[in-house]
Amino acid sequence: MSKRNSQAAKTAARERLRVERERQAKKAKAKRQVVVALSVVGVLAAAGGIGYAVVQAGKPDYWESAKDAKLVKPANTSGKNGTTVVIGESGAKKTLELYEDPRCPVCASFEQTVGKTIEKDLADGKYKIRFIGASFLDRSLTGEGSKNALSALGAALDVSPEAFLAYKSALYSAEFHPEETDDKFKDDAYLIKVANSVDALKDNKQFQADVKDGTYDKWALEMSEVFDNSEARGTPTLMMDGKKVTGSDGQNAPMTVEEFTTAVDKALKA
């Protein structure tokens, strides 16, 4: 091979190497630009997400908004904001106050054990009962099941006092009452499922609409406030004439039929 051909070959090789280096440099530059662009988009998206989160955090949640909603009082109520719920024969001289939280497992045990006795006493005119609903477990356990169930109880009360009592019994039943940590009552569909076990509420379109629409959500919050401002510090709590009705321990609600009957009879004679 001549020197001239050898030199030409070297020149061609260097040219090919230069072109390849430029191609690789352009490719690397383009890649850097894509990475930078994606990084900017990511930052903007993150900023947008943070901004959205801040905006959302600044908005009240549904139940906060419900405080400002129009109050709809269920039928069969009285008193300020319709939060006085008294059931029983008008001739009964005394009233037993019953404080309960729908999510409360002890309330469920109380209702499953003593509930039928209370219903019989009401039918016999032994006393009237005033129901005060609570939702403090929504705060301590987080959730909204207590408030939502109270609202559904308001819808049942609007149907009739009998429907209210039967629905309350169903909510606390062994079949339907969830563990207190399971916020199952927040689900309207579940509350309606429970209601379908009650004759007066089964397939009741107005009741179902009131549950789904949250007709008595504001009322449920007002009822909860009555409990919060009361002397009761837990549930279930029973009171008559301003005094606690307790079991043999002198502290807690009577949890057997025998203890309940003994304690109530004593309170009725006081």
Please tell me the predicted confidence (pLDDT) of residue 31. Answer: 46
Pairing of strands 243-244, 237-240: antiparallel
Ranges 34-38, 129-133, 183-187, 211-215: which has the least confidence: 34-38
pLDDT at residue 116 greater than cutoff 70: yes
Please tell me which residue, 61 or 88, carries the higher pLDDT value. Answer: 88
Give which of 156, 157, 137 is closest to 146, Cα–Cα.
137
Confidence at residue 54, expressed as pLDDT on a 0 to 100 scale: 38
* Mean pLDDT for the stretch of residues 43-56: 40
Query: Which pLDDT band, with edges at 50, 70 and 90, does 61 fall under?
Result: confident
Q: Please state whether the peptide bond connecting residue 60 to the residue before it is cis, i.e. omega within 30 degrees of 0.
A: no
Task: Say which range, 7-11, 55-59, 190-194, 216-220, has the weakest mean pLDDT.
Answer: 55-59
Confidence band for 84, pLDDT divided at 50, 70 and 90: very high
Confidence band for 15, pLDDT divided at 50, 70 and 90 = low
- Could you identify the residue written with the tokens 């006092």? 161
Give the model's confidence band at 25: pLDDT under 50 very low, under 70 low, under 90 confident, else very high: low
Task: Answer whether residue 13 shows pLDDT above 70.
Answer: no
Averaged pLDDT, 22-36: 50
Q: Considering Cα of 109, then 112, then 113, then 117, what sign does the dihedral take?
A: positive
Look over the chain and give the mean of its residue pLDDT values, rounded to a whole number. Answer: 85
Look up the pTM and report it: 0.78
191 touches 44 (CB < 8 A): no
Gyration radius from the chain CA atoms: 34
Length of the chain equals: 270
Q: How does DSSP assign 125-144, residue by residue?
A: TS-EEEEEE--HHHHHH-SS
